[in-house]
Each structure stands twice: as structure tokens, then as C-alpha cells.
Amino acid sequence: MAERKNSKLTLRAHDSKFSAISAAALGAFIAWGSLSTGCIPGASDPLVAAVWFVAVTFIFHKLGLSWALLQRRQLLERSLKESMSRIRRPVQELQHQAGGRPIPPYHHQDFVRQFLPDRYENLSYLGEGGMGVVYRATDAERGHEVALKVLSPLVQGDPQAVRRFLNEAGTLGDLDHPGVVRVLDVRSDVLPYFSMELIKGTSLKEVLEDEGSLQVREALDFMTRFADALAHIHGRGVIHRDLKPSNIMVGPGGGLTLLDFGLARAGGARVISRTGDVLGTLRYMPPEQEDGSGDVSSASDIYSAAVVFCEVLTGVTMKRQLGRAHDPPFEALENCGVPSEMIEVICLCLDSDPACRPANGADLARRLELISRPSQDSA
Ligand SMILES: Nc1ncnc2c1ncn2[C@@H]1O[C@H](COP(=O)(O)OP(=O)(O)O)[C@@H](O)[C@H]1O
Ligand SMILES: [Mg+2]
């Protein structure tokens, strides 16, 4: 489970519970007072009195909770504004030094060092995407190495990016599976960052660049682990929305870890995007996710997973036209010796209609198990 002892956000979560309970207590007191002074018509009927008491207490509880959430949001906004104004100048200096060229990673490292607590030592660069820069670091308090994901200084000025970044840490804190990276500590002051378990291995992107593709058996094992991890996140109501090789780590023993939940959406949560924004990577994205307004569901992750599966089996990144699903690469898969039942499942996952795909990770895992069972029996 995630430890967030030092997080300001956690403190505020406690505050909201406290405010809601205090408001409910105040509501109960007012309800009791109005009943005992006899200003409520029909209060002599115990049923009317009970309904009045419960209703007033409930309304006050809700009001207290809403007030606390509003306070919490305002505090978060204020702390983000402060951190952005403190960091804007050094970022501008850094950009000025780079003279319009992309800022190389070692510059980020020197730059972020001054905003991180001393407990993180020996920073070295691990990788980066659109949202954050990830460093390997020794956490002196924990006594072991961790991965530190720091909000990229280049998106510091974008409040939506900051929210997405904090959303990632929050979502990861609710997940607990060997196939999903574990978050350790989250901080939202000055430069937002969070620490994660350090995954030993390489990203699937690098594996595919080095090795081209995986053997069919290896690939089936990979697909099964992938589906298990998806079953866990979908079971918790989370949709990843950005599954692609650079967001998947492959360990030395073939273990797999899903990273980068920056675009993830928890069940019922608001999508953190501006209207019309295309979030995610078009090549791996199902058509319904393309315009940012479609209904994105766990079946959308299944589609992206299938695009990754095709790449793992053939070594080729599939392209597609806007507004259309990918053409399933039957021939390429057959030429790589992929058995027909595997091709069938992959093509089902690539259906343009989400309702025709396996509904979620658990459904996909069941179908893959049916394929791998006979091959295991015969081994
Ligand atoms: N926990 C981790 N352990 C090891 N390497 C990691 C870890 N998290 C991220 N990385 C590396 O950093 C890269 C970028 O991380 P990611 O979370 O995808 O950032 P972004 O949100 O900016 O795309 C990954 O492709 C991976 O190589
Ligand atoms: Mg990424």
C-alpha cells in the first residue's frame, strides 16, 4: 500500500473527514434543538422527529464535506500557483541557456536537484516522456534505491499537466499488483514529484528496438502477464488510456510492469483534459479515444494492448488512419508463425466496436489462458 505520510494531500483528506463529521454534529445539535423547542410542526410524532433529525444531520454532513473539498481544491490551486511562480524564473534561465534547443537531461538533473529534499542522493537519469523526468536515486530514509518521477520543468506552467501528474500518483496509490509500479511517497510542494519502486529491466520499447520481436511462446507469456495486470487495474475501476511500449517495463525474468498512469482515469472520475485534446498516443489508441469526447472504457485499453501484442509478435509498429481502426495484420502474424487462435483473439481485441472486444483485462486473461493451456499440457 502506498505510504503518503508526508503528503500535504493526505493531510487535507483527513481535514475533509473532520469537517464533515463536525458539520454533521452541528446539524444533529440544531435538529435536536429545533425539536425540543417545539418549532417543528408534527414533532410529537416520533417518525416525523426521526426523519427531521436524520435529514438535518445528513444535509449538514454533506455541506461540511463540500466546504472541505472546496477548501482543499483552493489550497491545491494556491500551492500550485506558488510553486509555478517560484520555478518560472529558473526554467526561463535554463531555456535561455539552451538557446531554444531541447534541454538535455543532465541539465534537468542539476536543475531539479535544488528542489528535492536531501534524502534523495546519487541521482542518475532513467528516462522521460511528455510529462515527467525519471531518475534513479538512493532514498537515505528508506535505505534503498527508488525511481523518482519529477514533473518536467517544461510543463511547469501548465496547470492541467500538474493535475494529471498528481492524478497519476493518486491512481497508483490505489493499485497493488506485481504488474503495476508501486508508488512510495508523493509531494506536491515546489516541484511536484513522487517516488516509486525502482524497476530493474528495460522498457519494452528498448527491448523491441534491440531484439525486433519476441518468440511466439515468450510473447504469449508476455500477453498473459499483461492481461493479468490489466485485470487488476480494471477490477479497481481504473482505465490506463496510454498503453504503449515505452510505458511497459520488462524485467530480466520476463516480468512485466505497467508504468505511467498520467492519463489514467478512475471509475467515475473527471477526465483531466481540455475539450478537444487528444490524450495518449495515436498509434496505439482505439478510434473512440481519438477525439477526446468518445466513451473510453476498459475495452479501449484492450484495443491498445492488442496493438502492442502485434508489435511484440511482428516487430513492426502498426499504423492507422484517423477515424478508422487498425487493419489487423493477419498475414504478418501468420508469417511469424502465430497460431490461428492467438490471431483470432488479437483481431477480436482490434474490433472498431468496443462492445465486440473482450470487455476487460479479466476477460482477455480468460481467453489467453484457453490458448496457453493446451500448449503447456503438451510441453
Ligand atoms: N519505476 C521505474 N523504474 C525504472 N524506470 C522507470 C520507472 N518509471 C519510469 N521509468 C523510465 O522512465 C521513462 C519515462 O517514464 P514515464 O512514467 O513513462 O514518464 P512520462 O509520463 O513522462 O511518459 C520510462 O519509459 C522508463 O524507461
Ligand atoms: Mg510514458
* Nearest by Cα to 123 from 191, 35, 55, 218: 191
Same fold, 97-197 and 202-373: no
- Sequence ranges of the domains in the chain: 13-85, 97-197, 202-373
Look at residue 88 in the predicted model and tell me its pLDDT.
65
For the chain, which residues score pLDDT lower than 50? 1-13, 268-278, 379
Measured N-to-C along each axis, helices 105-113 and 46-98 cross at an angle, to the nearest 10 degrees, of 120
Q: 97-197, superfamily in CATH?
A: Phosphorylase Kinase; domain 1 (3.30.200.20)
Considering only the C-alpha atoms of the chain, give the largest distance between any 2 of them, rounded to a whole number of Å.
85
Look at residue 164 in the predicted model and tell me its pLDDT.
80
Number of other residues whose CB lies within 10 A of the CB of residue 11: 13
Q: Decide whether any atom of ligand 1 lies within 6 Å of the 196 Cβ.
A: yes
CA 342, CA 367: separation in Å to the nearest integer? 9
Look at residue 41 in the predicted model and tell me its pLDDT.
82
Q: Decide whether any atom of ligand 1 lies within 6 Å of the 199 Cβ.
A: yes
Q: How far is the CA of 67 from the centre of ligand 2 (A)?
A: 35
Q: Decide whether any atom of ligand 1 lies within 6 Å of the 250 Cβ.
A: no
Active-site residues: which are they? 242
User: What is the pTM assigned to this prediction?
Assistant: 0.74
**Which architecture characterizes domain 202-373 according to CATH?**
Orthogonal Bundle (1.10)
**For residues 167 and 9, is the Cβ–Cβ distance under 8 A?**
no
Look at residue 2 in the predicted model and tell me its pLDDT.
34
**For residues 131 and 165, is the Cβ–Cβ distance under 8 A?**
yes
Q: How far is the CA of 180 from the centre of ligand 1 (A)?
A: 12
**For residues 19 and 60, is the Cβ–Cβ distance under 8 A?**
no
Look at residue 82 in the predicted model and tell me its pLDDT.
65
Look at residue 335 in the predicted model and tell me its pLDDT.
94
